[in-house]
Structure 1
Amino acid sequence: MSAVHERARESMPVSRIIADGYGSELGPGTQCRVTRVTLQDGLDIVRWQSTFEQPMDMPLHDDSERIHFSFTNLLKGKATCSFNDGRRQRCYTIDEGSGNISFGRCRHGLYHQHGEIDNITVMIRPEVLVQWELEIDPTLRKALACDHCFLDGHRSVEMTATAHMLGNAMDRVPSTSVVQPRSSLWLYGQSVTLVSLFLEARREVECTCSVSRADRQRLVRARERLLEDLGKAPSLSELAREAGMSQPKLTRGFRQLFLNSVYGVFQHARMTQARCRLLTGDESVMRIASDLGYANASHFATAFRKQFGINPSILKNGGRSKSFGASAS
């Protein structure tokens, strides 16, 4: 068994994982860096950057006593996590360009990753969040009180930009760089902004605890079917029939479990793939638009701009230096 898997068999306290610089002992075939900035007692920003060439399972023990507002800026591969909610083990898929709210005192879980991920997390003690006097919706308040909270699918253009700015600010830039480090006050302000954007994105979302295990499995399979071909979405009636659910139950389930409509989930995945191809390939904007089902480049540009706040042509011409975090700063 590899060193990665030997190490992963031990239950890992979150307090150890978020220690600045963690990851050097995980063995060959891995790259892992944790950057942590403490802004005040009970408030930290943590950036997790890792690449695992082989699938890795890491049993976790959350001893942080913090609420995690976590946003994934980059994902090339697959990442999931699972926790026991007191009755059963629930598994959650981590998506690029999406965030989750997680909290559970001393709970145990399992983190799985294969590939590359770049994640930014604001970790805050509940009493500090109360001091900020932000409006917390009843569903989230109930979820936080049950000690096995995991609410996923939070996303918005502002949230994406803020998470990218925080990630960029936490880069360890060389001493010769002209980029000036951000102040603690700036980081504090952006942390409050990111948390507030999470709360705004929630709107009238229902708690996923109300989704039965059987329906959760049907909805996950329906999402997998929905995203099989990002050039053409199946009809709602076809998707509901294949999932073994009525159309109203399917649409309601998507909003409960994925915090988005069926088409919204499809559109987000489609634009996320477009962004990845624009950043990493030599393909034209029109070619990418066509592959993703757009006959009109202007319609594609409008959809892309609506999700990411930037024209695809600017991203294509500017590369990573014109990424959303940089463009918003």
Structure 2
Amino acid sequence: MTITLSQQDYWQLVRHIQETNAAASQPHQDINRNTDEYDITWKYPKQLGAGYYRKIRIRDGIVLAIADYRLHDDLIITSDEREHPLELNYVLMGAAPSESYPVKVGQHCFCGSGMAPEEAGYEVADLHKFTVNIHIEPALLGQWATDCSKELSQSLNYLIKPPDRLYHLQIYNTSSAMQQIVQHILQCPFQGLTQRIYLEGKVWELMALQLAQLPEMDGSTPSAKGLKPDDIERIHYAKELLVARLDDPPSLIDLARLIGINDCKLKVGFRQVFGTTVFGYLQDCRMERARQLLTAGEMTITEAAQAVGYVNRSHFALAFRKKFGINPSVYRKRQRHFWQIS
């Protein structure tokens, strides 16, 4: 069975477990922690799986999260467009590829700040997942670049973007030096204020190593691996395949295999060529096709939903309303009224 949750519902469920069962929450046996307001561990929701989630607020603007769990069922978490801070996400065990985070064990994802697009994350049941995630507000990085916290260095422009601009995202292999620092974080021997000072030092060590991996920061967007004409042609073919298979679209990995390039190049290249993610483009096409079907008046809402790949009518209605600002039932009634008076 596959469970689908919005990101908001997912975190509401996790926090509900924290609030109603806080007394039963126990830290992972391999991690020492101080049970204060800055460092909270709670059990993973038993409805979804087993494990724990730990959140440490190191200081204002820096949050460390450690997740160690195993799901009972496959899980899809959908996210709307949202403002995103700087992020380092290290995969230590069992992460499955997704639309925006095709990160494997021994790799990490680095996100700049800005707008994170609408997306869907896929997680596989019975797979042990262990990740270390760090969120940093961009103004803090700016303090290292300039003497004024309100003025960001020009060299960081492509990493620190306003909320209406798509954020920078790239996948890296995690170096041995980074792996060692991550282990230091997991094995932190301190508590309270000493713990937070120690962990902040490790966070900035990781950020320094990360920045050292980036292209020369000259105030312009880093030169991503250039797309060859053949790559661009394949990416256009990927778009055609999506349009042709709206009712049963291929996964990102399958789509990459069909067009003959790897999934990472497809993800990055699709965004470069069309200015949106593969998932975002697919959703737009689905909704536009559904609107056309409802306008034609030859299908019910359920039939239109199925024609564009939706099994659950309520999920379809939610996506339609988000795209067009109106429920599909209301839209169809208006169209039928228009046909009657035409």
Q: TM-score, normalised by structure 2?
A: 0.48
Q: What is the CA distance between 1:133 and its match in structure 2? A: 2.2
Distance verdict in 2 for CA 1:106–1:95, change over 3 Å: closer
CA RMSD of aligned residues (A): 4.4
The answer for the alignment partner of 2:89 in structure 1 is: 70
Give me the whole-angstrom Cα distance separating, in 1, the residues matched to 2:199 and 2:70: 26
* Matching of residue 111 in structure 1 with residue 121 in structure 2: yes
Alignment of 1:207-226 (within 5 A): 207=224, 214=234
- What is the DSSP-based 3-state SS (H/G/I as helix, E as strand, rest coil) of the residue aligned with 2:91? strand
Which structure is higher in RCO with an 8 Å CA cutoff and minimum separation 6? 1
Distance verdict in 2 for CA 1:100–1:13, change over 3 Å: farther
* Matching of residue 9 in structure 1 with residue 5 in structure 2: yes
* Matching of residue 97 in structure 1 with residue 106 in structure 2: yes
Q: What is the CA distance between 1:160 and its match in structure 2? A: 1.2
* Matching of residue 184 in structure 1 with residue 196 in structure 2: yes
The answer for the alignment partner of 1:25 in structure 2 is: 45
Distance verdict in 2 for CA 1:141–1:42, change over 3 Å: closer
Q: What is the CA distance between 1:53 and its match in structure 2? A: 3.7
String of CA shifts for 1:18-41, please: whole Å, max 9, x gaps: 98446643515x124221111211
Alignment of 1:58-207 (within 5 A): 58-61=77-80, 65-75=84-94, 78-82=95-99, 91-102=100-111, 103-105=113-115, 107-114=117-124, 115-133=127-145, 140=159, 146-169=165-188, 180-181=190-191, 183-203=195-215, 206-207=223-224
- What is the DSSP-based 3-state SS (H/G/I as helix, E as strand, rest coil) of the residue aligned with 1:39? strand
Q: What is the CA distance between 1:148 and its match in structure 2? A: 3.5
Distance verdict in 2 for CA 1:139–1:81, change over 3 Å: same
Give me the whole-angstrom Cα distance separating, in 2, the residues matched to 1:244 and 1:60: 28
Distance verdict in 2 for CA 1:96–1:244, change over 3 Å: closer
Distance verdict in 2 for CA 1:23–1:206, change over 3 Å: farther
The answer for the alignment partner of 2:312 in structure 1 is: none
Mark the structure with the bigger radius of gyration: 2
Give me the whole-angstrom Cα distance separating, in 2, the residues matched to 1:164 and 1:51: 21
- What is the DSSP-based 3-state SS (H/G/I as helix, E as strand, rest coil) of the residue aligned with 1:96? coil
Unaligned runs of 5+ in 1: 83-90, 170-178, 226-241, 258-329
String of CA shifts for 1:206-235, please: whole Å, max 9, x gaps: 437967594598xx979x99xxxxxxxxxx
Q: What is the CA distance between 1:159 and its match in structure 2? A: 0.9
String of CA shifts for 1:166-193, please: whole Å, max 9, x gaps: 1233xxxxxxxxx554621110100101
Distance verdict in 2 for CA 1:186–1:21, change over 3 Å: closer
Q: What is the CA distance between 1:11 and its match in structure 2? A: 3.6
Give me the whole-angstrom Cα distance separating, in 1, the residues matched to 2:200 and 2:69: 25
Q: Is the 8 A contact 1:155 1:198 kept in 2?
A: no
Q: What is the CA distance between 1:197 and its match in structure 2? A: 1.3
Q: What is the CA distance between 1:200 and its match in structure 2? A: 1.4
Q: Is the 8 A contact 1:9 1:59 kept in 2?
A: yes
- What is the DSSP-based 3-state SS (H/G/I as helix, E as strand, rest coil) of the residue aligned with 2:205? helix
Give me the whole-angstrom Cα distance separating, in 1, the residues matched to 2:206 and 2:140: 15
Distance verdict in 2 for CA 1:10–1:133, change over 3 Å: same
Q: What is the CA distance between 1:46 and its match in structure 2? A: 1.1
- What is the DSSP-based 3-state SS (H/G/I as helix, E as strand, rest coil) of the residue aligned with 2:203? helix
Distance verdict in 2 for CA 1:56–1:187, change over 3 Å: same
String of CA shifts for 1:271-316, please: whole Å, max 9, x gaps: xxxxxxxxxxxxxxxxxxxxxxxxxxxxxxxxxxxxxxxxxxxxxx
Give me the whole-angstrom Cα distance separating, in 2, the residues matched to 1:147 and 1:62: 10
Alignment of 1:206-285 (within 5 A): 206-207=223-224, 214=234
Q: What is the CA distance between 1:51 and its match in structure 2? A: 0.9
Q: Is the 8 A contact 1:73 1:160 kept in 2?
A: no
The answer for the alignment partner of 1:51 in structure 2 is: 70
Unaligned runs of 5+ in 2: 19-39, 147-152, 217-221, 239-251, 270-342
Distance verdict in 2 for CA 1:70–1:24, change over 3 Å: closer
String of CA shifts for 1:121-174, please: whole Å, max 9, x gaps: 1101111111122995676457998334321124211111111221233xxxxx
